[in-house]
Amino acid sequence: MNPRLQLDAVIIDLDGTMVDTLGDFAAALNGMLADLGLPGIAPDAIRNMVGKGSEHLIASVLLQVSGLPQGAPELAAWAAPAWQSYQKHYLAINGQFSQCYPGVLPGLEMLRRRGLPLACLTNKPLDFTRPLLASLGLEGYFSQVFGGDSFPKKKPDPLPLRKTCETLGTLPGVP
């Protein structure tokens, strides 16, 4: 860490930052698709759809595998059953196909030794986030954990970042 940086807290994302969760997404989404009678999707096709919350991910997958145009009535009809199925499948496998990226644990240890309060801020729902952090041994590093359902808006909207900074007693800033 650059000794000239004056950090007073750190906010870290989860999926694709600390943890490779692509395998979990693929298993849950393919279970959901099977429930809906739709063809499966390859993990590589999912990779670029992650990052804007579960609802966006599910809608993007349905759009891709169905071959229907955006706004098709069938897509809207699948939304509620897809969400329920996805939640069921994700909760059943949460963390089984995920792993921390190399360097994450040593990095968190270094931040802890420096006494910096840490928050995990993700678009993943809290019901998925907390068990995942626990299964990977990460939950003890964070004084605050916020999911995509913690605030009225999700990232990339700045509201979750601002609210997390408030909770940590700091102002947003870029090192």
pLDDT at residue 175 in the model: 57
56 φ/ψ angles, rounded to the nearest 5 degrees: -65, -40
**138 and 116 inside one domain:** yes
pLDDT at residue 51 in the model: 74
* Single residue among 66, 93, 120 that ends a domain in this structure: 93
**Residue 13 known to be catalytic:** yes
**45 and 106 inside one domain:** no
Q: Average the pLDDT over 11-37 and give the result.
A: 96
**105 and 156 inside one domain:** yes
Task: Quickly state the pLDDT bin for 91 (edges 50, 70, 90).
Answer: very high
Per the domain annotation, does 1 fall within a domain? no
**79 and 127 inside one domain:** no
Task: Quickly state the pLDDT bin for 170 (edges 50, 70, 90).
Answer: very high
Helix ranges (H only) for 72-158 are 73-93, 104-113, 126-135
**27 and 86 inside one domain:** yes
**26 and 88 inside one domain:** yes
Per the domain annotation, does 5 fall within a domain? no
CATH number of the domain to which 136 belongs: 3.40.50.1000
CATH number of the domain to which 61 belongs: 1.10.150.240
Q: Average the pLDDT over 56-71 and give the result.
A: 93
Determine what percent of the chain is predicted with pLDDT higher than 90. 86
Tens of pLDDT, residue by residue over 114-143, are 999 999 999 998 999 999 999 999 999 999
Determine what percent of the chain is predicted with pLDDT higher than 70. 96
Per the domain annotation, does 173 fall within a domain? no
**67 and 78 inside one domain:** yes
pTM (2 decimals)? 0.86
Handedness of CA 92, 96, 99, 105 (dihedral sign): positive
Per the domain annotation, does 156 fall within a domain? yes
pLDDT at residue 2 in the model: 57
- Please determine, for residue 4, whether its predicted confidence score (pLDDT) is greater than 70: no
Higher pLDDT, 52 or 172: 172
Task: Show the domain range for 56.
Answer: 22-93
- Please determine, for residue 105, whether its predicted confidence score (pLDDT) is greater than 60: yes
Per the domain annotation, does 81 fall within a domain? yes
* Single residue among 93, 112, 129 that ends a domain in this structure: 93
pLDDT at residue 46 in the model: 95
**27 and 50 inside one domain:** yes
**84 and 106 inside one domain:** no
- Contacts of residue 119, defined as CB under 8 A and 6 or more positions apart, other chains included, come to 9, 10, 11, 12, 142, 143, 144, 145, 146, 164, 167, 168
Catalytic site residue from 13, 20, 35, 149 = 13
Total of domains in the chain:
2
Task: Quickly state the pLDDT bin for 53 (edges 50, 70, 90).
Answer: confident
